[in-house]
Amino acid sequence: MTPGQTAIALMVSALTVCACDDAQLNDADARPLDVTGELSGDTGAAPALPEVAEIFTNRCSPCHIDRPSAGLLLASGPELRGRLMEASTQQPALRRIEAGAPDESYLWLKLNGSHLAADGTGAQMPFQRDPLPTDERQTIRRWIEGGAR
Ligand code: HEC
């Protein structure tokens, strides 16, 4: 090979490596992304309501625990599930929780600040506090995806 041919051969192999990396990235992009940008596909058992109720108790007090805000009480107890399955006060076209469909669940949209795009109103929850940590949001999302049992 002449020096020129060697240079071309090197460039071609470098391009091949780049194309290969791109293909892998595109493949990863094609998989469903959760709201935090992490790859979903967790095969563990879906969380159950008591785990989610604990997050509500810790993070939604006092506004939805000691009293209802926007008509929503999130206090633990036998009535919690029924309240969650009701239509949202702010966007009656959506339930607060739509089992199996987090992106149609108004409560989920409120936690992510995406409720305005669904014709909702008001602020992201928790009201005037930092958004929930990723792992807690993941627990709630996986609970909804798993049928909100
Ligand atoms: C500091 C008080 C406060 C905290 C904490 C809080 N909220 Fe709210 N929440 C409100 C207020 C006030 C409204 C109505 C005004 C608004 O939406 O901005 C509301 C409205 C809502 C609504 C709309 C209800 C409906 O049926 O349309 C949802 C859903 C909601 N909150 C979920 C939560 C969740 C889940 C948490 C805990 C992770 C939480 N909020 C924490 C005060 C609070």
Do residues 106 and 135 share a domain? yes
In angstroms, what is the span from residue 89 Cα to ligand 1's centroid?
Answer: 11
Tokens representing 93? 């076209």
Domain count, the chain: 2
Do residues 21 and 54 share a domain? no
Cβ-contact 116, 105 below 8 angstroms: no
3-state secondary structure of 20: helix
Q: Which residues contact residue 47 at a Cβ distance below 8 angstroms, ignoring those fewer than 6 apart?
A: 139, 140, 142, 143, 146
Q: How far apart are alpha carbons 67 and 146 in whole angstroms?
A: 28
Cβ-contact 134, 112 below 8 angstroms: no
> Which tens digit of pLDDT belongs to each residue from 1-39?
566 565 555 554 444 444 444 444 444 444 444 454 444
Q: Is residue 36 part of a domain?
A: no
Q: Which atom of ligand 1 is nearest to the CA of 87?
A: 26
Please tell me whether the peptide bond between 78 and the residue prior to it is cis, using omega within 30 degrees of 0: no
> Which tens digit of pLDDT belongs to each residue from 53-88?
999 999 999 999 999 999 999 999 999 999 999 999
Do residues 26 and 63 share a domain? no
Do residues 5 and 66 share a domain? no
In angstroms, what is the span from residue 26 Cα to ligand 1's centroid?
Answer: 38
> Which tens digit of pLDDT belongs to each residue from 110-137?
999 999 999 999 999 999 999 999 999 9
In angstroms, what is the span from residue 61 Cα to ligand 1's centroid?
Answer: 10
> Which tens digit of pLDDT belongs to each residue from 81-98?
999 999 999 999 999 999
> Which tens digit of pLDDT belongs to each residue from 132-146?
999 999 999 999 999
Do residues 106 and 60 share a domain? yes
Range of the domain at 57: 49-145
Buried b (16+ CB within 10 A) or exposed e, 14-38: eeeeeeeeeeeeeeeeeeeebbeee
Nearest CA to 89 out of 120, 64, 63 is that of 120
